[in-house]
Amino acid sequence: MAGRQPRFNQTTLIDTTPLPAEIPPVTEIGSSSAPLLSASFFIGARCKPYNDDFMQCKSESNGKGEIDCLKEGRKVTRCARSVIEDVNKHCLEEFRKHWTCLDNNNQQLWQCRPAEWKLNKCVFDNLKLEKVIPDTPAGETPVHLKKRSTYSHHGP
Amino acid sequence: MGVPFEALIPYGIMLAMFGVTGAGLSKIRHMQNGGKRARHSVDQWDRVMMDRDRRLTGYLRGQTDSPSAPAGFELNNPWRLEKRII
């Protein structure tokens, strides 16, 4: 019964019991959707092993992933948090421009390519993280490096 | 012969009316969305992310880029309760 989304909810319940003491606490990431989308490929570049571990644990845990994979989840959170701290420290201006542009454009990455190129350059120079789209067919330019985009608001 | 501008006045009036209503609606949606363009084609992922933004910042379209969540963020995702019908 708890598996379906509530349809007619009238009240909410906030459960304030803390987690058991043997689970080490980890501060959650405080970025909202646009900065996270903007930094997502850099988080993927740095945290790929931890993310893959977590996804493998969840898919092998037969439905008990929320309880069994807490340790891998903590590693994922700490790694993503380190990426966001580093981007904030080195490239704050370009990062803010990019996610403000994304926020104005329905979170569509293809509308904000000029700002994204500047952010990619800054992050590559300072943090050595490169945005790579996995499974790009060989011999084709990846979609974020193409110079022309027909329908975006910033023109070709 | 000059251009018969009296015949084009009704078209001008129609254009102005459409323009004013379009601009007014766009301005209202702009104000409703906290000074940003409205979101369209919002799916379940986007709804969940916008709910997380509201829990983080207090506004549905608010954004922050701090690495740590504010205190109390771990606790403010509520269980949504339904009354029984039977």
d(CA A128, CA A115): 18
So what's the pLDDT on residue A34? 93
Is A14 in Cβ contact with B78 (below 8 Å)? yes
pLDDT digits (tens, 9 = 90+) for A106-138: 999 999 999 999 999 999 999 999 999 988 888
Q: Which residues of A touch B57 (CB under 8 A)?
A: 32
Q: Which residues of B touch A14 (CB under 8 A)?
A: 75-76, 78-79
Q: Which residues of B touch A104 (CB under 8 A)?
A: 36-37
The answer to whether residue A28 sits within a structural domain is: no
How much of chain A, in percent, has pLDDT values that exceed 70?
Answer: 97
Q: Locate all alpha helices (DSSP H) within chain A, ordered by sequence.
A: 33-60, 65-68, 70-90, 92-104, 113-127
- Name B65's bridge partners: A31
b/e code B2-40 from CB counts within 10 Å (16+ = b): eeeeeeeeeeeeeeeeeeeeeeeeeeeeeeebeebeeee
Confidence of residue A2 (pLDDT cuts 50, 70, 90): low
A100 has pLDDT over 90: yes
Confidence of residue B17 (pLDDT cuts 50, 70, 90): very high
B79 has pLDDT over 80: yes
d(CA B76, CA B55): 7
Rounded average pLDDT over A91-96: 93
pLDDT digits (tens, 9 = 90+) for A61-75: 988 888 889 999 999
* Residue (of B77, B61, B75) closest to A32 by Cα position: B61
The Cα of A16 is separated from the nearest Cα of chain B by a number of Å equal to 6
Q: Which residues of B touch A33 (CB under 8 A)?
A: 46, 49-50, 52-53, 63
Per-chain mean pLDDT for chain B = 91
R_g over Cα of chain A = 19
Is B80 in Cβ contact with A9 (below 8 Å)? yes
The answer to whether residue A96 sits within a structural domain is: yes
The Cα of A64 is separated from the nearest Cα of chain B by a number of Å equal to 19
CA dihedral A15, A16, A20, A22 (to 10 degrees): 130
The answer to whether residue A2 sits within a structural domain is: no
What ipTM describes this predicted complex? 0.84
Q: How big is the A-B interface in CB pairs under 8 Å?
A: 91
The answer to whether residue A127 sits within a structural domain is: yes
The answer to whether residue A102 sits within a structural domain is: yes
The Cα of B19 is separated from the nearest Cα of chain A by a number of Å equal to 21
Q: Which residues neighbour A137 within 8 Å (Cβ) at sequence distance 6 or greater?
A: none
* Residue (of A84, A39, A78, B49) closest to A70 by Cα position: A78
pLDDT digits (tens, 9 = 90+) for A8-53: 888 889 988 888 888 898 999 999 999 999 999 999 999 999 999 9
The Cα of A145 is separated from the nearest Cα of chain B by a number of Å equal to 25
The answer to whether residue A103 sits within a structural domain is: yes
B86 has pLDDT over 90: no
Q: Which residues of A touch B74 (CB under 8 A)?
A: 28
Task: Nearest by CB to A28, from B57, B65, B74: name it.
Answer: B74
Instruction: Count Cβ atoms below 10 Å from residue A130 Cβ, excluding itself.
Output: 11
Total structural domains within chain A: 1
The answer to whether residue A107 sits within a structural domain is: yes
